[in-house]
Amino acid sequence: MEEYVGFKWHEYITGKASTDFEDATVALKDAGYEIGVLFRALGGDTGLRIEAATPRDYFMRRSFLQKLAGTHQQVELTWRDNETLRLPEKLAIFDSAQLNKYLYLWLAALAAQQADDFSDWFQDNQSLTQRVLAIYPGMKQIYTTLVEAFLMLRPSLNELEDDAAAQEQAIQQALREPGSVEVLPPAKYAPNPVYLWLYPGNMSACMSMPSPVEDDEGSVSSGKKKHGKRKQGERVESYDKNHGLMVFRLENLFSFSEFVPVDRAGDDTDEEDAESVADDLDVISVSRDRKAASSSIKFDLDLPASDNDDLRLGDGILLPEWDYRSQSYREDYCCLQPMLGEPEKDNLKADESDGSNLEGSAIGQLPNHLRADAAKLRRQFSGLKPVRQWQNRQQDGEELDLDNWLHHVADAKAGSDSSEQGFYRTFNNQVRDLSCLILADLSLSTDTWVNNDQRVIDVVQDSLQLLCEALSATGDRFSVYGFSSRKRDHVRYHVIKNFNERYSDQIRGRIQHLKPGYYTRMGAAIRQSIKVLSNEKSHQRVLMIITDGKPNDLDLYEGRYGVEDTRMAILEAKRAGLQPFCVTIDDDADEYLPYLFGKNGFVVIKDPAQLPKELPRLYVNLTR
């Protein structure tokens, strides 16, 4: 009963302290598509992701009810950096859902025109507002409507102290007439949030407030992403768990909210509610010290010895890489190493006791569980094979069309006037003028399990074998390559089948020999595939990429850098007259693949186990 009463009291008092209009709430996930279209249509950076903002500490003046309820200490503000545009997860500021939606669109328009971070939050927002209204006069009506409604929600000047009143008056004047106020007067507290303006990534740039902790590279550190939101992160020093003195009474332990240094590195036990606990934290603190785990966990990604590695073909190929920050190529920046993996000897020998031989289980032969599907696909795809046939009633050709000539003579004797003159027939040899290069992602993530029986690499192997069986029945020219990487100086490019090789047991063995590699430097692998495929003289040249995640590597090839380099490689493929297409099993692919391949340039397979059956069907639709 005590817990129930406490819950109802919390629900009542927080409801009384709330200033939101819940009935008019508009969620970012519902309006995200329109916001993204408007943001990019107005000139916003196409590489930015739109995500929900994390609530930030905001030291403004609070009412008695708000203090009693413990609310309004954090607010969701709009800001952007080099990779994301952060908008509030939901807006319920106005009593009209239409106005809340207008506010989302207005913030997107402001962000589209923001070039750099703010040096003066107050002045820069006024200048940004003037710029948007000057370039897009159609936004003026929306802005005027929002300002009129927003000013009615601002604090009354008569209720504020002198310094706070002067500050509030300057903000309201700047909203009514952008550019008319030069200086924001100082005050003891921060002003009430101006939801019609953008905020800097570092809050200290505009007012005296705690700023997010920065990581080693200077970017704002954010914790694990969950449900579209990001946590604020901080670096803390490691602690010595064998020392320390508790100076509080244990019965008051759960009445404090503070950082507790839990030694997760040394405690390897699973915690079922770890994600829910992390979701409840405002700040996730991470220590650099991992000595406690070194004795129990070792994750070694060193390259294998040459005796145990695949065969290297040559000394490597130097390739450029696109740096979106300088908008230029880094020439000869990546070293791509072609590799040839030969299948091992048959690992399943005949049983000498009865002389039986488990046919199809040895490397180099089609596995038993794929034989029925492979036979079915070969029959279906054989219908795509060019048919050589005679065409009758032609004006010229290799020989006479005797049937048509006899019909013509018979009609003439019967007195019929026939103007038919097609007395020849020709041999028509139809050819599918098509070349396809299949590029498979063999990164470390393919070692994860998709069900109780298969890993991602197993699904990829089955998919490649079935697709190759189908393509060999059509007579289409095709090649198969795989890739993974370990930094820029070692991008592994596995040669599984080139265009001039015949599909055979040796190729099957190479597919079955594939193993999870390292990381996913996709741009370099695509550029080498462009070189290979561009040498084909076919009219239609398809580059099919099979992957399970975003571009990434150990060095700076993370986040937007890897995405932008991959996108530039795709644009290079299109300029070369190729047709790139991506097949992925990544659940989050909708966040970045439209930017890389375009709206119709990719497909997401929701159930990875269905990839072997879906891939041949996709190929037919792609090359029809």
Average pLDDT estimate for 76-93? 90
Q: Are 34 and 108 in contact (CB under 8 A)?
A: no
The pLDDT value recorded for residue 48 is 85
Is the model's pLDDT at 431 over the cut of 50? Answer: yes
The pLDDT value recorded for residue 61 is 84
Average pLDDT estimate for 144-149? 94
Name which of 19-23, 391-395, 428-432, 447-451 the model is least confident about: 428-432
Name which of 339-343, 373-377, 540-544, 590-594 the model is least confident about: 339-343
Q: What is the mean pLDDT of the chain?
A: 81
The pLDDT value recorded for residue 622 is 87
Average pLDDT estimate for 315-330? 94
SS3 state at 311: strand
Is the model's pLDDT at 354 over the cut of 50? Answer: no
Q: Render pLDDT for 31-52 as a digit per residue (tens, 0 to 9).
A: 888 898 899 899 888 888 888 8
Confidence of residue 410 (pLDDT cuts 50, 70, 90): confident
**Which among 433, 434, 432, 436 is positioned nearest to 580, based on CA atoms?**
436
Is the model's pLDDT at 454 over the cut of 60? Answer: yes
The neighbour count for residue 84, using CB atoms within 10 Å, is: 21
Q: Render pLDDT for 199-217 as a digit per residue (tens, 0 to 9).
A: 987 765 454 443 433 333 3
Average pLDDT estimate for 434-444? 95
The pLDDT value recorded for residue 522 is 96
Pairing of strands 579-584, 540-547: parallel
Average pLDDT estimate for 59-82? 85
Is the model's pLDDT at 140 over the cut of 70? Answer: yes
Average pLDDT estimate for 449-478? 92
The pLDDT value recorded for residue 286 is 64
Identify the burial level of 321 via C-beta atoms within 10 angstroms of its C-beta, where 0-12 means exposed, 13-18 middle and 19 or more buried. buried
The pLDDT value recorded for residue 269 is 46
Number of residues written out for the chain:
624
Identify the burial level of 572 via C-beta atoms within 10 angstroms of its C-beta, where 0-12 means exposed, 13-18 middle and 19 or more buried. middle
The pLDDT value recorded for residue 226 is 45
Average pLDDT estimate for 208-237? 46
Give the residue with greater pLDDT, 282 vs 466.
466
For 4, residues 6+ apart whose C-beta sits below 8 A from its C-beta are none
Name which of 277-286, 323-332, 433-442, 447-456 the model is least confident about: 277-286
The neighbour count for residue 385, using CB atoms within 10 Å, is: 13
Q: Alpha-carbon Rg of the chain, whole angstroms?
A: 33
Confidence of residue 444 (pLDDT cuts 50, 70, 90): very high
The pLDDT value recorded for residue 321 is 97
**Distance (Å, whole) CA 613 – CA 398:** 44
Pairing of strands 399-400, 579-584: unpaired
The pLDDT value recorded for residue 69 is 82
Give the residue with greater pLDDT, 117 vs 597.
597
DSSP assignment of 90-146 equals EE-SSS-HHHHHHHHHHHHHHHHH--S--SSHHHHHHHHHHHHHHH-GGGHHHHHHH
Give the residue with greater pLDDT, 140 vs 342.
140
**Distance (Å, whole) CA 180 – CA 101:** 27
**Distance (Å, whole) CA 295 – CA 264:** 14
Specify the pTM: 0.68
Q: Are 182 and 123 in contact (CB under 8 A)?
A: yes
Distance in angstroms between the alpha carbons of the first and the last residue of the chain = 68
In the chain, the percentage of residues whose pLDDT exceeds 70 is: 77
